[in-house]
Amino acid sequence: MSIHSTAIVEEGVTLGAGCVVHAGAIIKKHSVLGAGVVVHPFAVIGGDPQYLKFDPSIMSGVRIGAGTVIREHVTVNRSIHAGQATVIGARCFLMANSHVGHDSVVADDVVLANNVMLAGHVQVGGHTFLGGGAGFHQFCRVGEGVMVSGLARIALDIPPFAMAAERNEIIGLNLIGLKRRGFSRAAIGEIKEAFRAVYFTPGNIRDVAKAALAGDAFKTDEARRFLTFFTEGKRGFARARREAMAGDGDGD
The pLDDT assigned to 154 comes to 98
| Domain finish residue from 174, 194, 224 | 174
Beta-strand pair 8-9/153-154: unpaired
Res. 243: pLDDT tops 80? no
Establish if 206 belongs to a structural domain.
yes
For the question of residue 40 being annotated catalytic, the response is no
Residues 61 and 49 in one domain: yes
Residues 75 and 144 in one domain: yes
Model-wide pTM > 0.75: yes
For the question of residue 221 being annotated catalytic, the response is no
pLDDT digits (tens, 9 = 90+) for 46-68: 999 999 999 999 999 999 999 99
Residues 40 and 164 in one domain: yes
| Domain finish residue from 131, 157, 174 | 174
> At CB < 8 A and 24+ separation, what contacts does 103-111 make?
103/49, 103/79, 107/144, 108/65
Residues 181 and 160 in one domain: no
Res. 249: pLDDT tops 50? no
Per-residue pLDDT, averaged over 198-212, amounts to: 94
Of the residues 102, 121, 127, 137, which is catalytic? 102
- What domain range is 23 assigned to? 2-174
pLDDT digits (tens, 9 = 90+) for 101-136: 999 999 999 999 999 999 999 999 999 999 999 999
Residues 185 and 74 in one domain: no
For the question of residue 127 being annotated catalytic, the response is no
Residues 143 and 188 in one domain: no
Note the helical H segments in the chain: 175-180, 185-200, 205-214, 221-229, 242-246
Of the residues 24, 34, 61, 120, which is catalytic? 120
Q: How many domains does the chain have?
A: 2
Confidence of residue 252 (pLDDT cuts 50, 70, 90): very low
Residues 8 and 133 in one domain: yes
Of the residues 34, 36, 46, 103, which is catalytic? 103
